[in-house]
Structure 1
Amino acid sequence: MAQSRVVADRYHLRREVGQGGTGVVYEAWDRELERRVAVKVLHERVGMSAAEEAGRLRREVRALGRVNHPAVVSLYDAGITEQRPYLVMEWLDGLDLARLRAALGWRLRDLAAALTLPLVEGLRAIHEAGVLHRDIKPSNIRVTHAGRVVLCDLGLARISGDTSLTRSGVIVGTPRYMAPEMIRGEAPTPASDYYALGLCLREVLTDQQVFAEHENAATLLWTAVNEGVEPVDAPSLAGSVPGGLVDLVNGWCARDPAQRPTATDAALEVLTAEAPVRSLGGLIAMVEDDGEPLALEIPGSLDGPLVPGGSSPDPQPAPADARRDRTLSGSFPAPSSMLSLGDVTQALVLHRITPRNAVSRLREAVGMVQRGEHREALDLLATIGTVGAERLGPGDPTTLTARFWHAVCLARLGSGEEALALLATVNAHTEPVTPPDDGEPAPASGSAPAPAPEENEKGDPE
C-alpha cells in the first residue's frame, strides 16, 4: 500500500514504521481529530475469503476494544481499505524493550522492578477482559518519553474460548518466546502469556537473550520443551534486583504452566513493595546509538535551530533521513510517580550528556514541552542546564537555551517567581536586538527561541 494514501478519507499514511506477523504499521495523520495515530494494515492472507478477512478484523477489534488500561495500547478505529482490514491505534513515542536493552545493557537491570509492575497490571487487565495476547516479546513492549510502559500489538490475540485465528499446522507467535505448551500444540492460557513476559524480563535481569546459543528454530523449540530456561541466579544479582522479583521471573519461566504465578493481589503486592518509587520518565533521553542520540520524532519537528540566536522550532515534518530510527510517538499524562527522574535515570542522564549530544538531549526535552509534558521535561531541562553550565559554560548557547525552556516549564506550572529568576540568568548573557519590521518582538541576540505556541499543528502537516 502506498504510504501517501489516505485511508477512509481520513487517515493520511505518512510513512511505514514497522512490520509484524499480522500487518504493516504506518505513522498517519488523523485529519478529522488533527492528531498523529498509528494505522496497522493487516497482511493479505492467501486463500482467505473476504468473509474470513472481515472475521479476522472483528476478532482483533474485539480483542483490543475490550481492554482499557494505560499499560495496553488503545484502539481508536477500524475498517476495510482496498479489501484489507486496518486498525487505528494511539501513537506511542519512545523505544521498545529490545532496543532499550541493546543500548543500556546491564544498566537497565536497576529499573527492572519499575518496568515489571505496569506490565503485570496491563497483562492482568488483558486477561480479565477475556483476551490472550499470545505474542509478548521485547519488541512488543514499549517505554514512552513520559515513562509509560505499554504492551503493544495484540494482533495475535484471540478472545478466550474463540476458535483459533490460524489454520491447522501454523505456529502462532514468536518461537523464541512461545510457551512450551503452545509449542506442543496445546491451547494457550494466561499462563502462556506470563511465560513470554518472564522471558522478556529475564533478558533484562541477565542482559542475555534467551536461547541465544540456538540459531536453528527446531533446536530452540526442542530445548524450550524438553530442557526449559535456566533459572536466574538470585545471589548474583543481590543488591541490584529485589529477590522477590527474581523469584517471580523464575516462576514465570517454568516449563509447567501450573507452576507459573499470575497477577494475583499477592504478586502485585510483592512488586509494589519491591519496585522503588522511581520514574521511568527521561529513560529514552539517555539512550544513544553509535555514540549519537537516537532520533526521536516529536510533534512539530525540532530540526530547526534551538540554540540562542536561532529561530523558533519549525513545526514542519522532519526530513526522511533525519527520521531513520524514529518510531511511533504520542503522549500520555504521567501519574505523580513520574514527575521526577529517578536516581538511576538521573545519574545516567548526567553521565551521558556531553558537548557532543547536549543539543539532541535538548531537542527531546523541548519536544516534551511542546506536547504539554511540562513536568516530565522539567527535570531533564534542569539537568541539561546544570551539566551545560559545568561542562560547556554558563554562557554557552545550549546552556542558555535549556535554562530558557526550563523557565517556560516553570511558568506554565505556576512557578512564576522561579521562572523570572531563571530568565534573569539567561538575560545576563544576552544582548538586545532591533525588532523586525513586522513589529513582533524578537529574542535577544544570543538568546533562546520564543516558546512554541500551545497548538503547533493545525490541519494535515503534510
Structure 2
Amino acid sequence: MNTSGTSGRPGRAGGEGHGAPPAARGRLLAGRYRLVRELGRGGMGTVWRARDETLRREVAVKEVSVPFGLPEEDVTRLHARLEREARAAGRIEHPGVAEVFDVVRQDGRPWIVMELVRGITLQDVLEADGPLEPERAASIGAQVLSALRAAHGAGVLHRDVKPANVLLALDGRVVLTDFGSSLVEGGEELTDAGEVVGSPEYLAPERALEAEPGPASDLWALGVLLFASVEGRTPFRRETALATLGAAVDDALPAPGRAGPLRPVIEGLLRKHPDDRLSAAEAERLLRRVAGGSRARGGGAAAVPGAREVR
C-alpha cells in the first residue's frame, strides 16, 4: 500500500492475490454487490473483485481498513478520503481512469464500486523485469499524462503519481489509479497542516516546501516515474523521507544514463521551479514522438505478461 492512498498491490507479477477470508467471501453489499475475491490489501484498505447481481457484471469494490482503537475523528477522515476518491475519479471521463459506478454505505462505512480493470501495475513490472526501454517508458508515460490532463481539466490534482498507481491493462490501456490523495478544485483538504500527502520520492520541491500544489506538481511526479522506469531507481531517494524531500529541493538531478531520447523530457519535467517545467501538452507531444520509435519496431506498452485482475 502506498503512503496515503487506498489501492493495494496483491504481490508479484503473475500472482493470484490474497484469498478472501471465509467470513467476507460471498458477502452481499447494499443488496447488490457480492464479494468474490480479495485483489489487494494494505494499511489503508482492501480492493475486492465483486459481482454486480443486478447488471450481472464483474466490478471492483474498494473498502477502508480502520485500525482497531482509531479515534472516531480519524475514522471519519478515512471514510471521507474514500468518498473523495470516488468523487474525484467520477469527475474524470477518460479511458485512462477507471470508471466509478457507485458508492454504497454498509455497516456505517463507504464502499466504492468501480470498473474492474485486468492488468498489472507498472511497479510490479519494474520489480519483475527491471528497467524499461526508453520507448516503452515513453508510451506508458504519454498515456499517464493524457489521463492527468483530463484530471486537471476536471479540476482534480492526483498528488500521488507513481508506478504502483499505474496499471497496464490487458486491453492495452494504461490506467491511472488511486485518487485517494487527490485534491478537487473547491473541495476540502482532509489532511492536517504539515502532513505530507503522497510518496516522498515523487513529491515536487514546491510540495516539500508546503507551497500550494498545482498541475505542475503532478508533472514532476511523472518525471520521477519516467526516470525510475528507465534507470531502475528514483533520482532523489535518500535514507530518510526528510532527506529525500531535501534532496528534491536542493540537489541537482543525476544524469539519466539509460534514458536516451527520453532524457530531454525527464529533465524538462524535473526542473525545480514549477513555472520552468515542460507544459503538459509539450511533454505529451515529446513522449509520443519517442514512443513512435518502439511501434516502428513492433514494441509498445501493451504487452502485459502474467497479468491479473487488480484495481
1:174 Cα offset (Å): 1.4
Decide whether aligned partners of structure 1 residues 88 and 126 sit closer, same or farther in structure 2, where only a CA change above 3 A counts: same
AA matched with 1:203: A
Are 1:230 and 2:247 an aligned pair? no
1:124 is the counterpart of 2:149? yes
Report the CA distance shift for 1:202/1:257 in structure 2 as closer, same or farther (over 3 A): same
Question: In 1, are the aligned partners of 2:121 and 2:165 still within 8 Å (CA)?
Answer: yes
More strand by share: 2
1:249 and 2:266 aligned: yes
Aligned residue in 1 for 2:303: 283
Task: Give yes or no for contact 1:3–1:16 (8 Å, CA) kept in 2.
Answer: no
8 Å CA contact 1:132–1:190 kept in 2: the answer is yes
Q: How does 1:20-35 map to 2 (within 5 A)?
A: 22-35=44-57
Task: Compute the displacement of 1:222 (Å).
Answer: 2.0
Aligned to 2:8: none
Aligned with 1:155 (options 177, 180, 190): 180
Output the CA distance in 2 between the equivalents of 1:125 and 1:19.
28
Pairing partner for 2:289 from 257, 269, 273:
273
Match runs of 1:10-89 below 5 Å: 10-19=32-41, 22-44=44-66, 46-48=71-73, 55-89=80-114
* Cα distance in 2 for residues equivalent to 1:85 and 1:139: 23
Structure 1 residues 28 and 223: CA distance shift in structure 2, 3 A: same
SS of structure 2 residue aligned to 1:80: strand
CA contact (8 A) 2:168 2:174 kept: yes
Unaligned residue ranges in structure 2 (runs of 5+): 1-20
Find the counterpart in structure 1 of residue 275 from structure 2.
Answer: 258
TM norm structure 2: 0.81
Offset at residue 168 of structure 1 (A): 2.8
Instruction: Say which SS state the counterpart of residue 180 (structure 2) adopts.
Output: coil
Letter in 1 for 2:165: N
With structure 1 as the length reference, what TM-score do the two structures score?
Answer: 0.56
Give, in angstroms, the shift of residue 58 of structure 1: 4.6
Relative distance call for 1:94 and 1:258 in structure 2 (3 A) is: same
For 1:281 and 1:252, the matched residues in 2 are separated by 21
Offset from partner CA, 1:112-141 (integer Å, 9 cap, x none): 222122111111000000001011110000
Number of residue pairs the alignment of both structures matches: 282
Alignment of 1:57-206 (within 5 A): 57-206=82-231
* Structure 1 gaps, min length 5: 286-293, 297-325, 330-462
SS in 2 for 1:170: coil
Alpha-carbon separation, structure 2, partners of 1:263 and 1:187: 18
Quote the residue 1:363 is aligned against.
Answer: none
Larger relative contact order (C-alpha < 8 A, sep ≥ 6)? Answer: 2
Instruction: Give the structure 2 partner of residue 328 of structure 1.
Output: 310
Corresponding residue of 1:3: 24
> Where do residues 336-375 of structure 1 align in structure 2 (5 Å cutoff)?
none
Inter-CA distance 50–116: structure 2 relative to 1 (3 Å threshold): closer
CA distance in structure 2 between the partners assigned to 1:57 and 1:107 by the alignment: 32
The answer to which structure has the higher helix fraction is 1
Which residue of the partner structure matches residue 220 of structure 1?
244
Distance verdict in 2 for CA 1:100–1:65, change over 3 Å: same
In the alignment, the residues of structure 2 paired with residue 279 and residue 88 of structure 1 have an alpha-carbon distance, to the nearest angstrom, of 34
Larger Rg: 1
Instruction: Report the Cα distance in structure 2 between the residues aligned to 1:275 and 1:281, rounded to whole angstroms.
Output: 9
Q: Which amino acid aligns with 2:110?
A: P
Identical-pair percentage: 36
